Amino acid sequence: MADDRFLEDKTALVTGASRNLGAVIAERLAHHGAAVAVNYHTSAEAAEGLVERLQNETGGKHVAIHADVRQSAEIRRLVETAAETLGGRVDVLVNNAGPFSMTPYSELPESDWDHIWDANVKAAYLASQCVAPGMMSAGWGRIVNISAASNVLRNHSIYGLAKDALIFLTEELAVELGPQVTVNAVAPGQIIESAADIAEFDPTFVDRSIEATPAGRLVTRREVADIVAALCSPTFAVVTGATIPVDGGFRLRCF
């Protein structure tokens, strides 16, 4: 599938895509033929650099679009701009934006709750609502929500709750938007390239995660991105409402 351009003549919007996992997802969709809108909030230079690189590598038309996905008006503007710039509609939406927090509920400021929930869940609902009419009219669309293995943990506070809610939202959207649109989720385990980030919260988390993972290692961004792209391919045309765990078996518990 590495050289398969099954997204030729399709457009894609990836939220939170200037760096990290979002950037790799944007890259994989572009290499499968999509014209990609790279959403960013604060990392303008990184987003513009990614777009320039993708244009050079693929010869396609790609664009960086600023928007704070916590704000409903910003999401609507983001979708409209992506559609107008890349060809009239958004064919593939990847709801990737997802800030993290594991502050205990007893200490969690209400503003942090809103920040995590709105960026992870509310943004996915609103962006999906915005792209759905174009997808339904065209008779084809793909929505992929980025959940996380934190949905099975009970010490990742509002983040785990939001990622679990995203799975429920995925299932309901699949029912509402089928058969024209498939809606799926990907739930990565701890990503190896982001190990340093989680270590700031819990220095032991990475080692404990590897020990608890049957695959014996952590997942890579490229592996997650390839699954996201695959869900947009003809091979997965009949798969909808599913959450694909990309976690090396981390979610499995034996005792």
Which residues are known to be catalytic?
Answer: 159
- Specify the DSSP element, H or E, that contains 145: strand 141-146
Question: Exposed, middle or buried by CB within 10 Å (0-12, 13-18, 19+), for 15?
Answer: buried
Name the residue with tokens 């007893």: 106
- In Å, the largest CA–CA distance within the chain is 54
Q: List the structure tokens of 111.
A: 């503003």
Instruction: Report the distance separating Cα 21 and Cα 30, nearest Å.
Output: 14
Instruction: Report the distance separating Cα 125 and Cα 106, nearest Å.
Output: 27
Instruction: Report the distance separating Cα 46 and Cα 173, nearest Å.
Output: 32
Using DSSP's 3-state secondary structure scheme, residue 199 falls into helix
Say which amino acid occupies 47.
Answer: A
Q: Is 150 in contact with 159 (CB distance < 8 Å)?
A: yes
Instruction: Report the distance separating Cα 5 and Cα 22, nearest Å.
Output: 20
Q: Any bridge partners for residue 145, and if so which?
A: 95, 185
